[in-house]
Amino acid sequence: MRIPPFNDGSKGEHGWGADRIPDKDPRLTLGSQKLALSPRNANTMWMLHFLSHLKDGGTAGFVMATGELSNGETARFEVRKALVEQDYVDCIVQLTGQLFANTQIPCSLWFLSKNRAGGNGYWKRTGEILFIDGRKLGTLIPGSRKQKQLSAEDIERISSCYRAFRRKKTPETVKGFVRGATFDEIRKQGLCACGGAICWC
């Protein structure tokens, strides 16, 4: 699990340095698709970077600002679309805000996987993404009026759903908490990989 800088480059005068990434950088190609980078936000570069380091059968988990689930900027949308349609996105977990000391914005957990076809103890889950809505979980840390924490029970509730999705079957839908969504459902949302929009609105 990694936590890259949220929205790096969005406030700097010169962005985050997208112009210094060579066009031939292999991280910018998924299948036969060449992807552009946002000059003002490094989020999707981090996604592509993590994916590039996965071996066959591996899974990467990382934290992103929740806005990355639905941002409409062309370059960022195209990366999100490629990750979904090329079947790398395994699970999205939306979390509450106030979990970090240095920012109160809500975040989400992304899990990208190269074992979605099944095998080696994993269930075949191609063409489907698991969405978990943990926005109502978490309580204030004792003595703090600003920062929240997830309890062991909260963490197990989330992780047990994802374990089942990877190794057994898609968990039964629990309104307001968990649902598997097909690519067709996600496309109807305009590739807005936002669990709340797909499952609970």
Q: Would strands 128-134 and 89-95 be described as parallel, antiparallel, or unpaired?
A: parallel
How big is the CA angle at 197 (ends 193 and 198), to the nearest 5 degrees? Answer: 70
Give me the domain span that covers residue 101. Answer: 18-200
CA dihedral 102→150→174→68, nearest 10 degrees, is 20
Amino acid at 101: A
pLDDT attached to residue 194: 54
Which CATH number goes with the domain that contains 154? 3.40.50.150
Domain count, the chain: 1
pTM as predicted: 0.90
pLDDT attached to residue 11: 67
Q: In this structure, is residue 22 part of a structural domain?
A: yes
Q: Would strands 148-149 and 139-140 be described as parallel, antiparallel, or unpaired?
A: antiparallel
Q: In this structure, is residue 26 part of a structural domain?
A: yes
Q: In this structure, is residue 102 part of a structural domain?
A: yes
Going by C-beta distance under 8 Å and a sequence separation of 6 or more, which residues neighbour residue 191?
A: 77, 80, 81, 84
pLDDT attached to residue 128: 95
How big is the CA angle at 67 (ends 64 and 70), to the nearest 5 degrees? Answer: 115
Amino acid at 7: N
pLDDT attached to residue 12: 67
The conformation of residue 200, written as its DSSP 8-state character, comes to I
pLDDT attached to residue 199: 43
pLDDT < 50: residue spans in the chain: 195-201
pLDDT attached to residue 201: 31
Q: In this structure, is residue 93 part of a structural domain?
A: yes
